[in-house]
Amino acid sequence: MEAQRSVRLVNPTGLHARPCHAIARMAQAFQSELRVSCEGHEVNGRSILELMTLCAPFEAVLSFQARGEDAEALISALATLVEGGFGEHL
């Protein structure tokens, strides 16, 4: 099964270490493979270091692509995480 979704970063500081850690940690809780892309650059969504190379600023669009049995659930959880600003004060 495959799933994909694009979401806009709403947290003012964009994709820094803490949000990268949150994405990677969430991805590791699922079986599906995760790829994350921004502005044509694609990385492994389970790697904090690779995610940090995206350097995605406030209002950038992240595209999530998951492949595996729980792909839909992973994408849904990630969208909720990003749309909630990673729990940072908005």
Q: Is 16 a known active-site residue?
A: yes
Sheet holding 33-38, edge to edge: 2-8, 61-67, 33-38, 41-44
Beta partners for residue 70, in sequence order: none
DSSP state of 57: -
Which of the residues are catalytic? 16
